[in-house]
Structure 1
Amino acid sequence: MSPSAESMLLEAYENGLELGNRHEVDESGWDFLVLHATAADGTPWILRAPRRPGEYLKAEGALLDHVRPHLPIAVPDWRIHTDTLIAYPRLPGMPAGGTWLPADDRLGRSVAVLHALPTEPIEALGIPVLDPDDQRKWLIGRLETAIREFDIPDEKVRRWQDWLAATDRWPQDMVLARGDLHPQHLLVEGGRLVGMIDWADATISDPALDFIDPYHYLTPAAFDRLLADYERHGGHVWPGMREHIALRASFGPVIGGTFGLATGRDDLVAEAREELSRGR
C-alpha cells in the first residue's frame, strides 16, 4: 500500500513520537513521500516513507552513522527507522534552491572527504557496489530502451554510444559517491552549506556522480571553483573528468524517461520526451 500522511503520522505515534495535526507534504521525490511536522515540544521533524519497499533503508541509516563524524556538515540522525518509516529532527538550514552559489568550500570539501573514505567498511554496511563495467552496461540498457521509446537525434545517440564504448574514459577507482546532490538535498544558511539529506542513492561507484547535479545548477565559474575546492581537499581530478561529467549530466533524460516508463510516471516520460528530442 502506498504511504500517506495519515499512515506516516500513525506509525510515528506508534513509535513514541506524537506530532501535531498541522503538517506539510512533499510529494516531489521519486523514491519517498516526505512529511514536515512539529512535535508537541516545538521540535520540527522530517518523516520519510518509501514509495516502494527496499532493503537499502537499513544501509542508508548505517551509512549516515558512519560518515557523520567525518563531515564538516550535518546529516540526518534517524530516531525512528522501520521498513515503512524514517523520522529524524529537522536539520538546520533551508534547501539550497536552483540559483544557489556556494559561499565557501564546504561542498567540495565534503565530497572530497566522502571520496577519501575506505570503501571496504562501507561495502560491509550494504551500500551497493557498481564497478565501471556494471555502470556502463546499465546505462547501455537504459539507452537501448530510450532509443526504442523516444525520438532522439542520431548525433546525440552516437555521442552517448561512443562514450559508453570507450572504457578508457571511465575512472577505474571507485569511491563512496553520495549521488543526487540536487539543491533540494543541500541545506544552506547564508549561502554556506550546513547539511545534506536523503542519502538513499549512495553507492560505491563513479566519483563523477557527485558532480552531475552541480554541473546543472552552478554557473560555469562556480563549477570550476567546486572542482578546485574538491582537488585542494584531496579529491582526484583526472584528465577528461569534466567531459565525463558533462556526458553523464546530459544522460539524465534517458534515466528519467526510462524510470518513468517503468513506474508509470507520465510526467517524467513527457519531460524526457521533450528533452531527448532536442538536437543537443
Structure 2
Amino acid sequence: MKEVKNSPLSESELIGLTQRHGLHLQPETFNYNETGLDFQVIHALDNAQQPWILRLPRRPDVLPRANNEHRVLQLLKGKLPADLPDWQIFDPSLIAYPRLPGIPVANIDMEKLCYVWNLDMENLPEAFCQSLGKTIAALHAQDTAAAAKAGLNVLQPEQLRGHLQGQMQRVKTAIGVADPVWDRWQAWLQDDSYWPGYTCLVHGDLQAAHILTDENGKVNGLLDWTEAEVSDPAIDFVALLAAFGEDFMKRVLVAYEQAGGRVWPRMLEHVQQRHGAYGVNIGLFVLESGTDDYLPMAKEALGLSS
C-alpha cells in the first residue's frame, strides 16, 4: 500500500489561498504542526493578532470526513458545555477557524508515537473528571433525529454488532487476525449482556489530544469531529480508558451518570472489550488511508506480531 498525499503548499501559495478567502495572516507567525494523520495543522496570527488554526487535508480520502465534521459542528453549535471550532473557511483545500481557548490534555509525539502530557497524570484534577463526564453526557443527550436530518450516519442498536462484525471481517480478510483474538471478539459480539439497547450521538475519536482544558483542568473545548455519528455510547470512553486507566474511567462514569448519562450494568466491561478490539480501528485506517506506516502497529494489535 502506498500512501497518496497532497503536495504541501508553499508559504506563498498558502498566503494566496487564505487571502482569496478574506483571511490575511502574518506569515512570520506560521507554526506548523505535523502530528495530525489526516490534516496538516498550522497555527498563525492574522493582522489583528487573532490566533487562527488552519487545517490542510493530507489525502483526498479525508474530505468526506471533513464534510461530516462540518455538519456536526453546525448541528452542535451552542449546545455543549465545551466550545467547538467555528469554521470560518470550509473549502476542499483549506479549513480555518479562530483558535479555541485552552490547551490540549496531551500533544502527540509522532516520532515516538506517544503522548506528551499537559496535565499532571499522577494527580488528575477533579475538575477534569467532572467536566469531562458532564460534557460527554450532554453530547450523548443530543437529538438523534436531528443528527439524522443533518446527514450524519445513524446506527440503530440492532445494527451495532453487524456493523462491527463487517469491519472485523474486512480487516481479517485484508490483513489477518490471530485466532485467539478473533475468538474473543466473536464471544463479545454474541453476548447480549454487554451491548446497549440504544444509540446516541458520539464524538467518535475522543482522545487526549482532542480535549482542551483551562488552567484548572476543566474541559472547555473539543476538537476533531470527523468520526462523529450516532452509534454505541461506549465508543467515547475507549480512548479515555486506554490513556487514564480503569479507576479514572469509573470516576468519569459516575460524573457522566450524575449529569444524566445513561449507563447499563456491563458498560465498563463493554468499554474494555471495545478497547481490546482497537486493532480493528488501526487496521481500517491502514486500509482506507493507503499508508503502511501503521501496519506494524495494526498487526501487533491483531495478534500477528512475531
Preserved contact between residue 93 and residue 188 of structure 1 (Cα < 8 Å): yes
Counterpart pick for 1:141 among 166, 186, 189: 166
Are residues 1:87 and 2:96 paired? yes
CA apart distance, 1:209: 1.1
Task: Single out whichever of 248-257 and 96-105 deviates more from structure 2.
Answer: 96-105
Point out the more displaced range, 193-202 or 261-270. 261-270
Q: Which residue number in structure 1 is paired with residue 34 of structure 2?
A: 27
Correspondences of 1:117-266 after superposition (within 5 Å): 117-148=142-173, 150=175, 152-167=177-192, 169-190=194-215, 191-266=217-292
Q: Does 1:4 align with 2:8?
A: yes
Q: How far 1:95 moved relative to its partner? A: 1.1
Deviation at 1:9, TM superposition (A): 4.0
Q: How far apart are the structure 1 equivalents of 2:238 and 2:270?
A: 10
* Counterpart contact for 1:34–1:46, Cα < 8 Å: yes
Pick closer, same or farther for the CA change 1:3–1:274 going to 2, 3 Å: same
Is 1:59–1:125's contact at 8 Å kept on the other side of the alignment? no
Unaligned runs of 5+ in 2: 107-114
Amino acid at match of 2:280: V
Distance 1:161 1:52 in 2: 34
Q: Any idea what SS the aligned residue of 1:266 has?
A: coil
Q: Please name the residue that 2:82 is paired with.
A: 73
Identity %: 35
The one-letter amino acid paired with 1:89 is P
1:14 correspondence with 2:23:
no
TM-score (norm 2): 0.82
Give the CA deviation at 1:103: 3.4
* CA shift in 2, pair 1:80/1:3, >3 Å: farther
**Equivalent residue of 2:280, what SS?**
helix
Give the CA deviation at 1:76: 0.8
* CA RMSD in angstroms, aligned pairs only: 2.4
Q: Which residues of structure 1 form unaligned runs of 5+?
A: none
Quote the offset at 1:118 in angstroms: 1.3
Match of 1:39 among 43, 46, 62: 46
Q: Which stretch shifts more, 17-26 or 188-197?
A: 17-26
Deviations 1:165-213 (CA, angstroms, capped at 9, x unpaired)? 3355322311111110111111122322111111111101111111111
Deviations 1:216-255 (A, max 9, x none): 1113222111000000000011011111111111211222
Contact 1:102 1:222 in 2 (8 A): no
1:3-58 deviation per Cα after TM superposition (whole angstroms, max 9, x unaligned): 62435443222101111224233333333222222212221111113332534434
1:53-110 deviations in Å (ceiling 9; x for gaps): 5344344234323323222221111111123321101011111015543531111101
Q: What amino acid is the match of 1:21?
A: P
Deviation per residue, 1:135-189 (Å, 9 max, x gap): 4333223323443455644322211011123355322311111110111111122
Amino acid of the structure 1 residue aligned with 2:134: R
Task: Count matched residues.
Answer: 279
